[in-house]
């Protein structure tokens, strides 16, 4: 009789923004971990707290069944940490000797602090596809953990961490995540113009040094690398034919890291006649103005109908302070290029930066409106409030100027883009305005919320009408009397709009 393969559990916690069919995305970090484990002979089970209402019973059954030899948990800084903690505590309850490893953004940025929690036995720093399998094999063979690069662990109360980081992955060897381990239809969303879409990843790394971005710390070996274009489009074709998706969002750190590579992707899409699909990818403002209209038209021909752009601020001084390497003038030029090329820009914005003045916040609001006027189809994010990420240059500035370092999982879980309590550099009056702005700018472009509630006619009608009021307010910078804000805030907090 063939022995039952030893099992590894992989757990994905709630994020707080987990509406099925709207923004519930594939748990890709875990789906990339699974294939190397399976090739090594292990059985893998992914437990997604966002879609498995009986996840506690699943953990209990599997762990007490005796075949599970290790558990991996992926988490970012923020509310995901609470689910990660709860699952890890339950795992230890069901089997105190079960090794639990945390990976992802938060443990990578704070391995030592993460290891202070007794329910975490090891932390994986950086990319984990090959390292996690090595760790599981060490557990299976009762081997030492010391020789595994990028792994931090506790021994006799002291945290040990390998001095070498994991080697950069050859992405051509890790193209296909474990689609077979999740119920794929649960993760089809309608974010891209109401089409059936998934998320995918075909490149990693970002060489830029924006002072607020966790990528500068997370991608420790942050050289840009990508999947061969033909292999990448093989995957696109497979997803389209197998699951019927008509759109893909590329969740790459910097999809346009190399102009020629992105163009080869476009050529391959057109050659295979897949350009009836819709694609979304990230691009920088300076890349748009550098590539020009004709290049962007070609990307549009290949199906790249929407691109995410990190604009962040309307103040040239703040843009320089956060090392975006762009200007307000360049931002407006890029909006014109997007408009002429027929590509929809989805622009992100933040406020509440250290040293930022109220006048500079108003400049950002004005820029959001200007982009919408130059490119009427543009989507602008709500004005998110800057959240300091550990390991970044700007995080250290905040510590040096009075911010207290969060110490516990609960403290870090409260850190999000609409939370200002720890922002000691912002006055109470400005905090109140920023909170309001984070709500009413959700409606500013007149498109984002309408898209979001495309299948909910009442909310859609409300969003369209209120967007007209918001645009008039921003044009005149009239924010003194906003009686509607209590209603808008309440609806947004309850996730009704």
Task: Using DSSP bridges, classify how beta strands 203-204 and 225-226 pair: parallel, antiparallel or unpaired.
Answer: antiparallel
Q: Using an 8 Å Cβ cutoff, are 128 and 166 in contact?
A: yes
What pTM value is reported for the model?
0.91
- Averaged pLDDT of the chain: 90
What is the per-residue pLDDT across 428-458, written as a single tens digit (0 to 9) for each?
778 889 988 988 998 999 888 777 676 678 8
pLDDT at 123: 95
Average confidence (pLDDT) over 81-108: 96
Under DSSP, the state recorded for 21 is: T
Task: Using DSSP bridges, classify how beta strands 100-103 and 122-124 pair: parallel, antiparallel or unpaired.
Answer: parallel
User: Rounded to whole angstroms, how far apart are CA atoms 9 and 47?
Assistant: 7
User: Rounded to whole angstroms, how far apart are CA atoms 93 and 15?
Assistant: 23
pLDDT at 330: 98
**Count of positions (residues) in the chain:** 497
> Which segment, 169-183, 216-230, 482-496, is predicted with the most confidence on average?
169-183
Work out the percent of the chain whose per-residue pLDDT is above 90.
Answer: 67
3-class SS of residue 99: coil
User: Rounded to whole angstroms, how far apart are CA atoms 377 and 380?
Assistant: 10
Residue 420 has pLDDT above 60, yes or no: no
Q: What's the CA angle centered on 127, arms 34 and 173, to 5 degrees?
A: 60
Domain covering 188-493 in this structure, CATH number: 3.80.30.20
Work out the percent of the chain whose per-residue pLDDT is above 70.
Answer: 94
**Which of 56-70, 120-134, 208-222, 332-346 has the least mean pLDDT?**
208-222
More confident residue, 155 or 262: 262
List strands edge to edge, sheet with 151-155: 43-48, 7-12, 68-74, 100-103, 122-124, 151-155, 158-161
Residue 378 has pLDDT above 90, yes or no: yes
CATH 3.40.640.10 at 7-161, yes or no: no
Residue 160: other Cβ atoms inside 10 A: 14
pLDDT at 221: 52
Give burial (CB, 10 Å; 0-12/13-18/19+) of 94: middle
What is the per-residue pLDDT across 174-222, written as a single tens digit (0 to 9) for each?
999 999 999 999 999 887 777 899 999 999 988 898 999 887 766 555 5
Q: Using an 8 Å Cβ cutoff, are 4 and 74 in contact?
A: no
User: Rounded to whole angstroms, how far apart are CA atoms 48 and 29?
Assistant: 12
Q: Using an 8 Å Cβ cutoff, are 256 and 284 in contact?
A: yes
Query: What band does 497 get if pLDDT is binned at 50, 70 and 90?
Result: low
pLDDT at 421: 57
pLDDT at 58: 97
**Which of 29-38, 101-110, 419-428 has the least mean pLDDT?**
419-428
Q: Which distant-in-sequence residues (6+ apart) come within 8 Å of 304 by Cβ?
A: 266, 279, 280, 281, 343
Average confidence (pLDDT) over 298-326: 97
User: Rounded to whole angstroms, how far apart are CA atoms 164 and 411?
Assistant: 30
Give burial (CB, 10 Å; 0-12/13-18/19+) of 237: middle
What is the per-residue pLDDT across 124-177, written as a single tens digit (0 to 9) for each?
998 889 999 999 999 999 999 988 988 999 888 888 887 777 778 899 999 999
pLDDT at 131: 93
Average confidence (pLDDT) over 3-9: 88
Query: What band does 422 get if pLDDT is binned at 50, 70 and 90?
Result: low
Residue 27 has pLDDT above 60, yes or no: yes
Q: Using an 8 Å Cβ cutoff, are 81 and 413 in contact?
A: yes
pLDDT at 6: 95
Task: Provide φ and ψ at 57, rounded to 5°.
Answer: -65, -35
Domain(s) labelled CATH 3.40.50.280 in the chain stretch across 7-161
**Which of 104-113, 138-147, 475-484 has the least mean pLDDT?**
475-484
Domain(s) labelled CATH 3.80.30.20 in the chain stretch across 188-493
User: Rounded to whole angstroms, how far apart are CA atoms 349 and 347?
Assistant: 7
**Which of 152-161, 241-250, 259-268, 290-299 has the least mean pLDDT?**
152-161
Task: Kindly state the tokens that stand for 445.
Answer: 């472009």
pLDDT at 127: 87
Q: Using an 8 Å Cβ cutoff, are 442 and 417 in contact?
A: no
């Amino acid at each position: 009789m063939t022995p039952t393969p030893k099992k590894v559990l992989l757990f994905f916690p709630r994020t707080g923004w987990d509406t099925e069919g709207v923004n519930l995305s594939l748990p890709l970090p875990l789906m990339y971990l699974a294939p190397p484990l399976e090739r090594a002979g292990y059985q893998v089970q992914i437990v997604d707290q966002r879609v498995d209402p009986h996840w506690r019973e699943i953990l209990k059954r599997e762990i007490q069944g005796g075949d599970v030899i290790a558990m991996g948990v992926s988490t970012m800084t923020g509310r995901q940490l609470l689910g990660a903690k709860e699952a890890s505590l339950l795992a230890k309850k069901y089997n105190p000797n079960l090794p639990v490893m945390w990976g992802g953004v938060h443990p990578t940025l704070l391995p030592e602090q993460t290891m202070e929690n007794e329910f975490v036995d090891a932390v994986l720093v950086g990319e984990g596809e090959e390292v996690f399998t090595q760790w599981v094999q060490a557990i299976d063979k009762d081997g030492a953990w010391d020789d595994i690069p990028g792994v931090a662990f506790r021994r006799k109360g002291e945290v040990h961490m390998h001095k070498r980081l994991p080697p950069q992955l050859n992405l051509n060897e890790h193209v296909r995540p474990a689609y077979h381990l999740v119920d794929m239809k649960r993760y089809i969303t309608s974010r891209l113009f109401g089409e059936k879409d998934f998320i995918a990843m075909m490149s990693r790394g970002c060489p830029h040094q924006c002072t607020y971005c966790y990528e500068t710390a997370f991608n420790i070996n942050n050289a840009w690398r990508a999947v061969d274009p033909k292999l990448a489009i093989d995957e696109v074709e497979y997803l389209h034919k197998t699951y019927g998706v008509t759109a893909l969002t590329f969740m790459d750190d910097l999809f346009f890291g190399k102009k020629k590579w992105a163009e080869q992707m476009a050529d391959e899409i057109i050659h295979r006649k897949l350009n009836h699909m819709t694609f979304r990818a990230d691009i920088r403002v300076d890349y748009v103005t550098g590539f020009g209209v004709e290049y962007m038209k070609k990307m549009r021909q290949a199906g790249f109908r929407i691109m995410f752009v990190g604009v962040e601020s309307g103040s040239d001084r703040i843009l320089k302070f956060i090392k975006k390497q762009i200007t307000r003038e360049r931002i407006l030029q890029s909006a014109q290029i997007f408009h002429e090329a027929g590509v929809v820009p989805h622009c992100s914005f933040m406020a509440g930066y250290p040293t930022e003045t109220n006048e500079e916040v108003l400049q950002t609001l004005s820029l959001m409106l200007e982009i919408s006027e130059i490119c009427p189809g543009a989507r602008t994010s709500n004005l998110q409030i800057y959240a300091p990420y550990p390991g970044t240059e700007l995080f250290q500035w905040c510590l040096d100027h009075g911010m207290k370092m969060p110490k516990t999982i609960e403290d870090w879980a409260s850190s999000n883009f609409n939370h200002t309590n720890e922002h000691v550099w912002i006055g109470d009056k400005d905090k109140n305005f920023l909170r309001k702005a984070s709500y009413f700018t959700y409606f500013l472009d007149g498109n984002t919320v309408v898209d979001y509630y495309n299948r909910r006619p009442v909310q859609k009608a409300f969003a369209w009408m209120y967007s007209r009021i918001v645009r008039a307010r921003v044009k005149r910078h009239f924010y003194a009397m906003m009686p509607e804000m209590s209603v808008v805030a309440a609806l947004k907090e309850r996730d009704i709009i």
